[in-house]
Amino acid sequence: MTSAAHTAPANEQTYDVHRIKADFPILAQQVHGHPLVYLDNAATTQKPRAVISALEHYYAADNANIHRGVHELSGRATKQYEEARAAVRAFLNAADDREIIFVRGATEGINLVADSFGRSFRAGDEIIVSTMEHHSNIVPWQMLCERSGAVLKVVPIDDDGEFLMDEYEKLLSPRTRMVGIVHQSNSLGTVNPVKETIARAHAAGARVLVDGAQAAPHQRLDVRALDTDFYVLSGHKMYGPTGIGVLYGKRELLESMPPYQGGGDMILSVSFEKTVYNKLPYKFEAGTPHIAGPIGLKAAIDYMQAVGLERIAAHEHELLAYGCELLAEIPGLRMIGTAAVRSSVLSFVLEGIHPHDIGTILDREGIAIRTGHHCAQPVMARYGVPATARASLAMYNSRSDVEALARGLRKTIEVFS
């Protein structure tokens, strides 16, 4: 197993996981009489004090509506909102702040593209997605197909949960308009070869949307190196607040696309005869946005960068390897998702014990994992399981957390024996 995006050697001495953990107030609690072991990070991550303080400070000191007031507070709020856009631009290594659109989350980002970019799709056009997509990168395209008569094609995965490049190549054709692919799978942990996927799509004349909701907290991103057309993020999965996400789009594409929603802020002038839409990025940000959201997200990005993206990735990579080792010793445990390049996800089933029961027993030990289909029912169908148990790692998890998981699983087996 190799990790996607780092070269720095992991070193527990220089990576002080306990100090990092101490920055996340929620983690210092007992659950059912045990110290909380939070391993449901793929669902949502916890927030460092820096993010909580940024939100509090914004509401306590600077709250005002943006882009419209002449007064001091509005100026401050606008400045911080736009500084957050610049921070996200730098985080993604995008070329231009105007390519960063604030949305509610990855889901809304994908819906925006399917709705707006998809408006020109016609019967016979084709959209390709992979089997391991989150429902949010399936359903908006299905809805677009229903509206437009376009056809959805699905790239299969193998038993390890690897994207099958050759099968993908066979599906590409001049009819392909759009390829939707997840950068890192939330149900399997697979890190997909998105750069090659994008290059091949471009060679066929198609555009690509990469779902980066899970990749963002685990590796350094570079939308220009990938040459992706669209990239989406969810703030809450990268230590930021809920309700804020990002759509990155190449400027010429965004320029050419019709607005997604109509309202205030997205217009230059309105009359009943003619309304002129605003320029990027405001064309896609109708109405008063979640102003505190980007401000909190910037604090999260700053925090991740202060710890070091490569160091986080190295730490999590080592922890994943350790977790795999410990889980391999558990009798009757089968890993779901064993791709060569993967990150932060331990998805598994236990023989004769339903994931839901595992989840309940671990919860009583203070261990939070996710059980279910992880909004990836096609993946469950592919593996012939109704659900899996999933432990997912973040920068604040330590070796003792995965040890607690292994202990909890042995206890689960004991309860059921």
Partner 1 sequence: MDDLRDLYQEVILDHGKHPRNFRKAPAANRTAHGYNPLCGDQVEIFLELDEGGVVKDICFQGSGCAISTASTSMMTQALKGKTLAQARALFEEFHALITGTGEPDPEKLGKLAVFSGVREFPNRAKCATLAWHTMCAALENRAEPVSTE
Ligand X SMILES: Cc1ncc(COP(=O)(O)O)c(C=O)c1O
Cβ proximity to partner 1, 28 vs 415, nearer residue: 415
246 lines the binding site for ligand X (CB under 6 A): no
Binding mask 361-380 for partner 1 (x = CB under 8 A): x--x------xxx------x
Candidate residues 3, 80, 107, 344; the one interacting with ligand X per rule CB under 6 A: 107
- Residue placing its CB nearer to ligand X in the complex, 106 or 307: 106
| Cα 325-326-327 angle, rounded to 5 deg | 95
Instruction: Report, in Å, the least distance between residue 357 CB and partner 1.
Output: 5
- The partner in contact with residue 105, picked from ligand X, partner 1, none with C-beta cut-offs of 5 to 8 angstroms by kind, is ligand X
Task: Decide whether 228 or 371 has the Cβ nearer to partner 1.
Answer: 371
Q: Does 386 bind partner 1 (CB under 8 A)?
A: yes
- How far is C-alpha 40 from the geometric centre of its chain's CA atoms? 13
- Using CB under 6 A as the binding rule, whether residue 136 contacts ligand X is answered as yes
> Does 415 engage in binding with partner 1 (CB under 8 A)?
yes
Residue (294 or 355) nearer to partner 1, CB: 355
- Tabulate helix, strand, coil % of the chain (nearest 5): 45, 20, 40
Given partner 1, ligand X, none, residue 46, with its beta carbon under 5 to 8 Å by kind, binds none
Determine phi and psi for 68, rounding to 5 degrees: -150, -15
Q: Give the residue from 105, 98, 91, 113 showing the smallest Cα distance to 209.
A: 113
| Cβ atoms of residues 198 and 146 within 8 Å | no
The mark string for 29-68 relative to ligand X (x by CB under 6 A, - otherwise) is -------------x--------------------------
Burial class (CB in 10 A: 0-12, 13-18, 19+), 159: exposed
> Count of residues binding ligand X (CB under 6 A)?
13
Q: How far apart are the first and last CA of the chain?
A: 33
| Residue written as token pair 């607005």 | 259
Among positions 142-161, residues that touch partner 1 (CB under 8 A) are: none
What are the φ/ψ torsions at residue 98 (nearest 5 degrees)?
-70, -10
List the one residue from 4, 155, 181, 213 that touches ligand X (CB under 6 A).
213
Phi, psi of 129 (to 5 degrees): -130, 170
**β-pair type (367-368, 345-350):** unpaired
Residue 78 binding ligand X, by CB under 6 A: no
Q: Whole-number minimum distance, CB 351 to ligand X, in Å?
A: 27
Binds ligand X (CB under 6 A): choice among 23, 40, 211, 285: 211
Q: Are 149 and 124 in contact (CB under 8 A)?
A: yes
Find out whether 219 and 248 touch, Cβ atoms under 8 Å: no
Active site residue 324: no
CA distance 119 to 186: 29
Smaller CB distance to ligand X: residue 209 or 409? Answer: 209
Task: Check residue 387 for interaction with partner 1 (CB under 8 A).
Answer: yes
Q: Which amino acid appears at position 22 of this protein?
A: A
CB of 202 to partner 1, least distance (A): 38
Size of the site for partner 1 (CB under 8 A): 17
**Residue 390 in contact with ligand X, rule: CB under 6 A:** no
Helices (H), 156-226: 165-171, 194-203, 223-226
What residues are labeled active site? 375
